[in-house]
Structure 1
């Protein structure tokens, strides 16, 4: 374990760099007060444009930026105006949109709230796995149409969550959390991740398989792969064709990871079911056939942190700021060498 880098002193200067809407949503009065107790926090307005004279004046004296959705890129020009900047604490997940190569070359330390944002996504995924296992969506539609209860003793044995097989595509932060949440349930869990060994899989309590086997064996496949050049279209036509009749594909990652045309064809044919919190594009065109497909549930990218869950992001950012200011170092650092594997 490397020695923690000490902070600049007991009262570093910090500023918020994000959209005004993000700041209002994520950082409530209590969170701002907690940040203010740790550092000299530049008062509003937040920095949503780093080219203005005020922004340049603020950048000249900050040691740390607390960033969020809507933060402009921290490029060479911005860093030249921020000679004291040593750390970035991000109140959301991915830092790809604003942390540039110039930051890494400067040696700026970076923290992310990806671990906090993973929790609600995993909870959403668990809920959808269990609900789809009971065929809740389809049976609710039938109940509404018939206004009568079907003979429950004639329920097909394909319905239920006992000994179903669930496949996890990628042992990401979210994928690993889903695996944890599945443990109390009577489910068999398979995993595909090219960076996970058999020993790692054993520690996770899952069976490691290749993609073709994952899609062929599982009743439900849940996608947790970050969108990278190597993962675009990873869930291919061939893998979708290999899915069991009536199997469920859950995607809370990115729409472009899945061959959406092939998914649409399979869903419209009634071969598979799907739960899509993400699509390609987002939002689908109004006339896209998936909107009217009764065996597909589309939700508006709501699995991640929303509402009171934003407070979890703020709490993590405050805790990371406190650790850095004390010289303890980040608990959730983002490493440049890991960027190729992160969302």
Structure 2
């Protein structure tokens, strides 16, 4: 029998039995039961990054299966020779929904209405024609599975889509072609909305810098549901401080964003506290992935979403 750890009993119940697999629960906070036998570890969804050093307690560990799409913080803590898989696809629906919600909220001025309602007596704001999402030129920066999920949700809003990935390639049923990131200087001046979805790496850290922001037209909206470090925070503060561009951010650098940080008070900036994947859509998709991945492991089949071969 192959021993697999799951974060708690609820995950054991939901994933269900798999032939050849025996489950133990481990939240990475205490020494694991049957550490000498564990081959696969599924860390908890939240708070795992601070605990991943505990993986060194599992001498025969072969695979770490994350419940997050991002893996940049986990990679340095995975022991040598251990494979790492992320949860690509699990968060597509949740993150795509939030990307669209942030876009609509920022364009249609919803934060202003919330502030007006939260006043003691409430304030009925005068009519103001806010920008619509309809007819906007939307650039999706990072056209992987989440990027495609965003594109599919945006098409009914009657937008003009441009997809950008690390390299140019052919399109799909949603976009006629995918541009390479090297084309950004020519694409950004024509983008009304940029939705950032790239993973964090040495190539994407501070990809959205002062030159990137300066290339956007006045009134453009930057939506970041990727990682905070993809954006140069100081450059973003300067670009938004006078209202030249808008920003809707689910991630920031630093994170959590401390009280008093300039981004909190920058006009036209909407901030949510890294909740892109945190919806009711997460659990059933995560359970399906774990069931498929654990079954494949037990049967010796090819695994999904391997991001590090060990």
Question: What's the TM-score bracket when you normalise by the shorter of the two chains?
Answer: 0.7 to 0.9
45 and 252 in structure 1: CA distance in 2 versus 1, 3 angstrom threshold: closer
**What is the match of residue 205 of structure 1?**
176
**For residues 231 and 276 of structure 1, what CA distance do their matches in structure 2 show?**
17
Which residue of 80, 88, 93 maps to 1:114? 88
1:110-148 deviation line (CA, Å, top 9, x unaligned): 433221023211110022223333333346556878934
**What is the match of residue 306 of structure 2?**
334
**For residues 142 and 172 of structure 1, what CA distance do their matches in structure 2 show?**
38
Q: CA deviation at 1:189?
A: 1.0
Structure of higher RCO (CA pairs closer than 8 Å, 6+ residues apart): 1
Which residue of 57, 68, 72 maps to 2:52? 72
239 and 91 in structure 1: CA distance in 2 versus 1, 3 angstrom threshold: closer
The answer on 1:40 being equivalent to 2:22 is yes
- Does the aligned pair in 1 maintain the 2:100–2:154 contact within 8 Å? yes
The answer on 1:247 being equivalent to 2:223 is no
DSSP-derived class of the 2:38 partner: coil
**What is the match of residue 167 of structure 1?**
139
Q: How does 1:2-13 map to 2 (within 5 A)?
A: 11-13=1-3
Question: What do you get for the CA RMSD once the two structures are aligned?
Answer: 3.2
The answer on 1:181 being equivalent to 2:181 is no
Q: CA deviation at 1:95?
A: 3.9
Greater fraction of residues in helix: 1
The answer on 1:229 being equivalent to 2:222 is no
- Does the aligned pair in 2 maintain the 1:35–1:321 contact within 8 Å? no
- Does the aligned pair in 2 maintain the 1:27–1:314 contact within 8 Å? no
**What is the match of residue 80 of structure 2?**
102
The answer on 1:92 being equivalent to 2:68 is yes
TM-score, with structure 1 as normaliser: 0.75
239 and 118 in structure 1: CA distance in 2 versus 1, 3 angstrom threshold: same
Q: CA deviation at 1:166?
A: 0.5
The answer on 1:31 being equivalent to 2:14 is yes
TM-score, with structure 2 as normaliser: 0.82
Gaps of 5+ in 2: none
